[in-house]
Chains A and B, each alone.
Chain A
């Protein structure tokens, strides 16, 4: 009898005729780390909420089937009873922390259980130790970084002394360093305290620490097993729109070309072993060093043309705050696809806002198409620089998709026929033309993201800034947006992308700028930048797994500069 037993769970949200969960059955054993994956809207979060009774007791809806957690049937138990068995951490640090001090936040749960004060103090101390927050007790949670906030959320859940911890996309909003810290704490807690973990995640680091992976699609469990078995089921993985680990993607391509492999590797070490075997079999042949052609077209306009964006000795200091950018000197040329990466707080978003005029330099000048941002208003800049923000819900307000996209062009005082044609064009590009009469709130998160893109595209900007385009998105949505962006680039636009996702940096960006504490640490062709992992690490950035694989195979003739899955594949099949 597992610590969690779910039998034929079917659930509809109130007033919804589409079931969010269909006949879900799952058993989880004590001490397991189970990673739940699937497309947006597949029911992962719903399943989480069914584990501690929030569904159905707090939310309502129609519930059939059975969920038994640590021996308690959730239908017959109250939320407080379940809360001492199951702790939860949610995606957004802002909406789960509400106290004035870390210590009061962590104490909140035990206080609600009306435990004696001495016990509360003891539990709080333990939880704070376990999440490495010693010294943070009196700090206001609101003043902490995203990663630290999630640590507090974890401590607050831990203070309930649950046997099970459910984490719903805990690292979506975090940078790689924060992500790493959370995951290492998860492993530690499982080792030290035997806590069972259910983690909803998109990132491959989660897959690597999982005992089991469960794939969901449209409310159903499609696949359930150990990570290697699950990711060997290529059909299930793609049906559920899950991004497999990079090295697994390589093997998908290889198996398509006829390679017979039973268990698909998920870590670069495993992959290295298999590939060494393949390459050794070929040792007689000339392994050949393929010259890695740029698999992306570099704009021919290149360095001889005028830069579209220039940073001249730019510094920016927030009022009463730190120096976010120091003496930045850079030029970005027309048609480039530039990725800007670096640790949280390195100045990436500040740099972006300096480009579209939301922020004006405290020292130095920013020129866009030779015009100084200090001489133009943000609205005037909006004609040239399109800024696609991370959260589409921060801008959506219209009653129809059409109106939402028309907002921008109307603000530009364009004639109605022009507005109409631009809206139509933008909606068709993002594939939302058929939805033009729908209310934006009826769209899925991925669709709303595309709506945000469309509303920026309708302004016909020559320069497009993307702020974290892939956070929390499933594979299909990511592909749609990135393919779209790449297409826009090929039409001659300049793209600047801020992201933590190194696999899309290496796949799409020809140039990468690495920021560290407000200064440029590295700036150059992506390949050159990523060939210096020691330097990258100074900004807490790590190279994507496929490059680590290449590193492991360097004495097999694998060229050092391999950046992407496709390049590795091409090398292996000998193109």
Chain B
């Protein structure tokens, strides 16, 4: 799960306050949402790619992520290509007439093609923008950023602690699997679907029980250090908005609003 992991660095993006990054994230989402024209989405995509290169995060660790992304993109592209209604037909692929909706032929249209590209690009933009924030911001800063946005600190803590517990639970799952394997447990590999699902019981129960026990023990540990003592708490980490942060936020908000207005008035970013 290296998407959540924090890779320290001192690039411009790293140094931005987490709140600025959150504004950035929301802006990107809005823009990706309102732009349907692949040209405009491509611009967003290129900006993102540039940022990814710029933050100097090793791509090697992301191989699995990119593979999955590519698969989903190809799938999305073909869905658009095949299903999107359009008038400028490029190719016609005959198919049996009993398949509903297509009336005997897959019509690959220009519009479908463009829409396909646009969708894929939007997908990329959305999926690639989030890790940029999580990978360049330490957990403490993220939590603090959320809290400054008025999220109750118990909620922020619950989320980050849960995330931090994931590796521990993964360890548990592995140990449970090993213990059951050592008792000749193979049911997950063979059997019907129903049997396979039932087969997960010897894994799920110890895992759940273990997780609940861990939760209880964690609660006691946290209370023993006065968690929840007062309505507010002080923080070791500090968040200070710099001039760069304010300028960046103003720029982002301006661009976003401008695009929204242009979209609504003259259809900027659409395919009309």
Contact = CB atoms under 8 A, between A and B. Distances in A.
Contact of A408 (B164, B183, B235): B183
Interface string B149-184: 000000000001100110110001001101111111
A386 B184 CA distance: 10
B175 A394 contact: yes
Nearest to B230: A114
A90 B184 contact: no
Nearest to B181: A378
Contacts of B179: 387, 389, 394-395
B223 A79 contact: yes
Nearest to A385: B182
Given A83-B229, A378-B182, A408-B183, A395 B221 contact: no
Interface stretch (B76-84, B212-220, B245-253): B212-220
B139 A52 contact: no
Interface residues of A, number: 67
B206 A397 contact: yes
Contacts of B139: 99-100
Interface in A19-72: 49, 52, 54, 58
Interface string A119-161: 0110010000000000000000010000000000000110010
Nearest to B237: A104
A302 to B, nearest CB: 28
A377 B186 CA distance: 10
Nearest to A358: B178
Interface string A370-414: 000000011110110111010101111100000000011001100
Given A111-B234, A389-B175, A98 B225 contact: no
Nearest to A83: B226
Nearest to B209: A393
B233 A112 contact: yes
Interface string A464-496: 000000000000000000000000000000000
Interface string A455-466: 110010000000
Contact of A104 (B140, B168, B180, B232): B140
A301 interface: no
Contacts of A109: 225-226
A379 B190 CA distance: 13
A394 B176 contact: yes
A115 interface: yes
Contact of A356 (B164, B182, B213, B233): B182
B176 A114 contact: no
A382 B230 contact: no
Nearest to A389: B179
A511 B225 CA distance: 46
B265 interface: no
A114 B232 contact: yes
B183 to A, nearest CB: 4
Nearest to B210: A393
A80 interface: yes
A100 B140 contact: yes
Contacts of B181: 358, 378-379, 382
A94 interface: yes
B224 A112 contact: no
A103 B226 contact: no
B230 A80 contact: yes
B220 A49 contact: yes
A539 interface: no
A86 to B, nearest CB: 8
Contact of B140 (A80, A101, A117): A101
Contacts of A78: 229
Contacts of B183: 382, 395, 407-408, 411, 455-456, 459
Contacts of B221: 88, 90, 95-96, 98
Given A98-B165, A394-B172, A396-B206, A103 B236 contact: yes
A397 B225 CA distance: 33
Contact of A142 (B167, B178, B217, B218): B167
Chain B at the A interface: SS class: helix
A83 B202 contact: no
Nearest to B202: A397
B178 A379 contact: no
A100 B138 contact: yes
Contacts of B234: 110-111, 114-117, 120
A96 B216 CA distance: 10
Nearest to A113: B226
A95 B204 CA distance: 20
B229 A87 contact: no
Interface in A172-206: none
Given A358-B178, A393-B206, A79 B226 contact: yes
Nearest to B162: A98
B233 A114 contact: yes
B238 interface: yes
A54 B220 contact: yes
A108 interface: yes
A58 B181 CA distance: 38
Nearest to B201: A397
A353 interface: yes
A378 B180 CA distance: 10
A394 B226 contact: no
Contacts of B62: none
A90 B220 contact: yes
A84 interface: yes
Nearest to A96: B221
Contacts of B257: none
A87 B224 contact: yes
Given A395-B179, A455-B183, A124 B236 contact: yes
B228 interface: yes
Contacts of A101: 138, 140
A83 B225 contact: yes
A73 interface: no
Contacts of A386: 182
B229 A112 contact: yes
B185 interface: yes
A395 B176 contact: yes
Interface of A: 49, 52, 54, 58, 78-80, 83-84, 87-88, 90, 92, 94-96, 98-101, 103-104, 107-117, 120-121, 124, 142, 156-157, 160, 353, 356, 358, 377-380, 382-383, 385-387, 389, 391, 393-397, 407-408, 411-412, 441, 455-456, 459
8 contacts: A58-B223, A80-B229, A104-B237, A112-B230, A124-B236, A378-B181, A382-B182, A397-B201
Given A111-B233, A142-B168, 16 more contacts: A79-B224, A79-B226, A94-B168, A95-B217, A98-B161, A112-B230, A112-B233, A114-B230, A114-B232, A358-B182, A379-B186, A389-B179, A394-B176, A397-B202, A397-B206, A459-B183
